[in-house]
Amino acid sequence: MPSNRVRLILKTAAATLACAALAAAAGTALVLKSGWYNVASTDQHFQFVHTLLEQGMRDSVRFHARGVAVPKLDAARIAQGALLYRDHCVQCHGAPGVAQQDFGKSMQPVPGPLVDAARRWQAAELYWITKNGIKMSGMPAWEFHLADDDIWSVVAFMVKLPELAPPAYAAMTASSASAPVASAAPARWPGNPARGRIALTQYACNACHVVPGVTGPETYVGRPLGGLGKRRFIAGHLPNTQENLVRWIRDPHAIDPLTAMPVQDVSEADAVDISAYLLTLR
């Protein structure tokens, strides 16, 4: 009967697809476990892989930035942004007449020049990228290290960049002073645990600590943070309250001068949110 023939065809197609998927999975596992795949940054992706990833990144940025409202990008923002760009961006991206530093030259994928970024991206998209970063590209998220006003100042300067010849860029960034930064947002106790989970990744906490709910390496440089919310003490002797945890996160050396935990310049607002998340770990 025709219906039986159709069912046979569908079953055969499904079995063929399943076998193909299993073969692909087995082949991928073999390549990875054999060590054949070269993870060296000197070994580039195939061009089609690079093109596919870049197109996916562009489409993702445009989708997520579609609701961003752009403020007035005036001369004051541009001047402020020039110094912020010099202090935080030129190391990887370079500038008109200025090469990036050695680590920026050798990253894979290489950080693109921003002298023409405004011709390829809208201001809202530049803001979204600067604020949120791009995963697996080396592009960091600046949300937790620059105030929102400062991020917009960097965007204003990037919009101006295509018009700048090397002498003009040099003149705008000639000041020896560091760029003044906008005031940090005030802390809001008892904090936002969801934001804190993200914030701790932006201060590299998961580089040394295994943190439940956070993707990261299996590392034991620092003590695993699972169950921190039910511990009695911080650093072995400090009562485990949120206030004390914030103190420890911001300045561990003030509590234990011998600790290997570094001072990470965590703002009070971010420390409150991080502590709020850590105290949920029971």
What's the Cα-to-Cα distance from 209 to each of 140, 223, 229, 263, 275, rounded to whole Å?
Answer: 20, 6, 15, 15, 14
For the cut 60, the answer to whether the pLDDT of residue 1 exceeds it is no
pTM for this entry: 0.86
Question: Angle 260-196-183 (CA atoms, 0-180°, nearest 5)?
Answer: 90
User: Look-up: residue for tokens 């904090």?
Assistant: 191
Domains of the chain, CATH where assigned: 47-172 (1.10.760.10), 193-278 (2.60.40.420)
The rounded distance, in Å, linking the Cα atoms of 143 and 128 is 10
For the cut 90, the answer to whether the pLDDT of residue 220 exceeds it is no
What's the pLDDT tens digit per position in 64-107?
999 999 999 999 999 999 999 999 999 999 999 999 999 899 88
Percent of the chain with pLDDT over 90: 72
For the cut 80, the answer to whether the pLDDT of residue 6 exceeds it is no
Find out whether 41 and 109 touch, Cβ atoms under 8 Å: no
